[in-house]
């Protein structure tokens, strides 16, 4: 081995040299001067033509964007000026809050009269339920079957709960005292039976609808004014009766006090 190395001219203490591979380079589309020199005249002309076409397209696109921005700015300025002129023509007041009939021209007195009328709220949609029945208040088809069968009144549960003065229930004694009806009149009216709250073993209570009781009272006393007058008359009569009883008591005590022994 030593001889061979001596004969080959390589020193004995020499070490092998490790060389690194060349770094990787990205390929680019830019032609080097050497490659450009290798292109033909036809290829050079094609490249130049493509470059000019790309530059022309880019310039056209920029010009189109500038024109669109300019048109948009002009439209905004025009609309703002028109709105300002309209506002000034109205004396600085806008038309918000006016009816459409007032804004239209040529309506004349009809539009003025329509504008002076009070605005009526829209009626709720009539959603008829089974057999075409609907609530007499809101028009809902979900009527309370208890009121429908017991009183013949078409009303839904929410409307009934929200208006106790109209659809509330009361006993016969309260009906006689509040609406000044005779017991016989109340007894023949429609009613609902409920368990007695004091004791379930007691006789069931008969409850009457305030709406029907009020209608019967108005019929008897010829309207709400007549019912109110009858209430006042009865209050006055009770007051006079109580006052008379009080005077009689004092007179009796006075006589007992001054009576001779």
Separation CA 214–CA 226 (nearest Å): 12
Q: In 3-state terms, what secondary structure has residue 143?
A: strand
Separation CA 158–CA 167 (nearest Å): 11
CB 217 within 8 A of CB 211: no
Q: Is 142 exposed, middle or buried (0-12, 13-18, 19+ CB in 10 A)?
A: middle
Confidence tier at 30 by pLDDT (50, 70, 90): low
37 or 43, greater pLDDT: 43
Lowest mean pLDDT among 111-115, 121-125, 142-146, 223-227: 121-125
φ/ψ of residue 48, rounded to 5:
-65, -40
Angstrom CA distances, 160 to 31, 154, 156, 256, stand at 91, 10, 6, 60
Whether this prediction's pTM lies above 0.75 is answered by no
What distance, in Å, lies between the first and last C-alpha atoms of the chain?
174
Residue 155 above 70 pLDDT?
yes
pLDDT tens digits, one per residue of 157-204: 999 999 999 999 999 999 999 999 999 999 999 999 999 888 888 999
Confidence tier at 99 by pLDDT (50, 70, 90): very low
């Amino acid at each position: 081995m030593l001889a061979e190395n001596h004969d080959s001219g390589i020193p004995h203490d020499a070490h092998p040299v490790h060389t690194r591979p060349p770094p990787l380079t990205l390929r680019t589309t830019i032609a080097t001067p050497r490659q450009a020199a290798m292109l033909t005249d036809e290829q050079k002309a094609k490249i130049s033509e493509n470059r000019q076409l790309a530059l022309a397209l880019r310039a056209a696109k920029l010009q189109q964007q500038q024109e669109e921005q300019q048109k948009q700015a002009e439209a905004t300025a025009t609309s703002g000026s028109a709105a300002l002129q309209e506002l000034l023509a109205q004396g600085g007041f806008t038309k918000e809050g006016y009816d459409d009939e007032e804004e239209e021209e040529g309506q004349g007195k009809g539009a003025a009269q329509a504008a002076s009328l009070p605005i009526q709220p829209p009626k709720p949609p009539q959603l008829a339920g089974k057999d075409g029945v609907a609530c007499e208040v809101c028009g809902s088809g979900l009527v309370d079957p208890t009121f429908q069968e017991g009183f013949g009144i078409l009303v839904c549960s929410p409307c009934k709960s929200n208006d106790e003065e109209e659809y509330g229930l009361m006993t016969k004694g309260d009906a006689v005292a509040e609406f000044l009806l005779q017991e016989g009149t109340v007894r023949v009216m429609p009613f609902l039976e409920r368990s007695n709250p004091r004791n379930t073993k007691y006789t069931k209570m008969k409850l009457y609808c305030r709406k029907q009781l009020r209608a019967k009272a108005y019929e008897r006393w010829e309207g709400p004014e007549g019912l109110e007058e009858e209430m006042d008359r009865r209050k006055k009569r009770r007051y006079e009766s109580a006052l008379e009883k009080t005077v009689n008591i004092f007179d009796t005590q006075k006589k007992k006090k001054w009576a001779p022994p």
